[in-house]
């Protein structure tokens, strides 16, 4: 049976457990660029509108994920949150991530149905489907900050061992997110991709993250047993990214 862990430490260590976010938006002259590729005026209008709709939906999905991430961190940082509450919050976050990814995929597929493979390749600005790198790991920052938070040598050694395990688990999780982000970019840019490809990607990422959850929870639990409430507060303050 799991002891009550400080899952907030795990969250701070791994960053936002999501797909990486989109780097760019469609240019202001998108409609003109579409007209240069799609010569029929009425179809060009539909394609331009569909592209703008996808661009807006992708941004809407990103905003939804940012809000969900904020809610998740609020629950996890609180020492009063139970294990069940934190796990539920993580499950809700992953459900929102799935819905956001599928909403973006559906709007993109609607745009793709209006064009040929040649037109699809010519339409999108270079790098449009590229994704920014996932949020940087904070596990190394946790390890660096610990000596200024825990002054007792014996407890510092214990906390350091737990932080090292946390870092290892976080790196495994980060690797899975980076691979998923690269795959999502390729799926979105390919004319041959199907909705099921996005579903498979989300499922694969969640399966990998579920496997690493136990390692994150275990390491966070060890750290909780070592740190005092005051030390925990100091650790959160010094490792939390700027808003």
pLDDT at 159 over 60: yes
- Give mean pLDDT, residues 85-112: 82
- Tell me 19's DSSP state: P
SS3 131: strand
Phi-psi bin for 15: left (phi > 0), alpha (psi -120 to 50), beta? Answer: left
Q: pLDDT value at position 150?
A: 93
Query: Roughly how many angstroms between the first and final C-alpha of the chain, as a whole number?
Result: 35
Return the exposure string of 23-35: e unless at least 16 CB atoms fall within 10 Å of the residue's CB, then b: eeebeeebbebbb
**Can you tell me the distance from the alpha carbon of 78 to that of 86, in angstroms, rounded to the nearest whole number?**
9
Highest mean pLDDT among 155-164, 181-190, 195-204: 155-164
Q: pLDDT value at position 59?
A: 85
Q: Where are the domains of the chain?
A: 7-239
Q: pTM, whole model, 2 decimals?
A: 0.69
pLDDT at 243 over 60: no
Q: pLDDT value at position 13?
A: 44
Highest mean pLDDT among 13-27, 83-97, 137-151: 137-151
Q: pLDDT value at position 156?
A: 94
- Tell me 198's DSSP state: H
pLDDT in tens, 99-112: 888 888 899 999 99
Q: HSE-up of 141 (CA within 13 Å, CB side)? A: 18
């Amino acid at each position: 049976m799991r002891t009550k862990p400080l899952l907030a430490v795990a969250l701070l260590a791994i960053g936002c457990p999501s797909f990486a976010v989109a780097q760019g938006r469609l240019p202001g002259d998108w409609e003109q660029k579409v007209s240069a590729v799609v010569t029929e005026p009425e179809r060009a209008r539909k394609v331009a509108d569909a592209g703008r709709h996808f661009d807006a939906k992708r941004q809407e999905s990103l905003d939804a994920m940012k809000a969900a991430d904020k809610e998740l961190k609020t629950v996890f940082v609180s020492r009063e949150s139970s294990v069940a509450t934190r796990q539920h919050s993580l499950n809700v976050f992953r459900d929102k991530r799935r819905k956001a990814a599928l909403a973006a995929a559906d709007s993109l597929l609607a745009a793709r149905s209006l064009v040929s493979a040649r037109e699809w390749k010519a339409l999108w600005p270079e790098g449009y489907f590229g994704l920014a790198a996932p949020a940087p790991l904070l596990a190394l920052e946790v390890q660096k900050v610990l000596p200024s938070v825990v002054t007792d040598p014996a407890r510092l050694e214990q906390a350091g061992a737990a932080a090292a395990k946390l870092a290892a688990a976080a790196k495994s999780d980060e690797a899975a997110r980076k691979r998923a982000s690269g795959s999502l970019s390729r799926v979105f840019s390919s004319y041959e991709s199907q909705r099921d490809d996005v579903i498979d990607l989300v499922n694969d990422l969640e399966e990998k993250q579920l496997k690493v959850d136990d390692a994150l929870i275990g390491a966070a639990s060890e750290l909780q047993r070592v740190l005092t409430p005051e030390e925990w507060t100091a650790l959160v303050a010094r490792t939390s990214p700027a808003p």
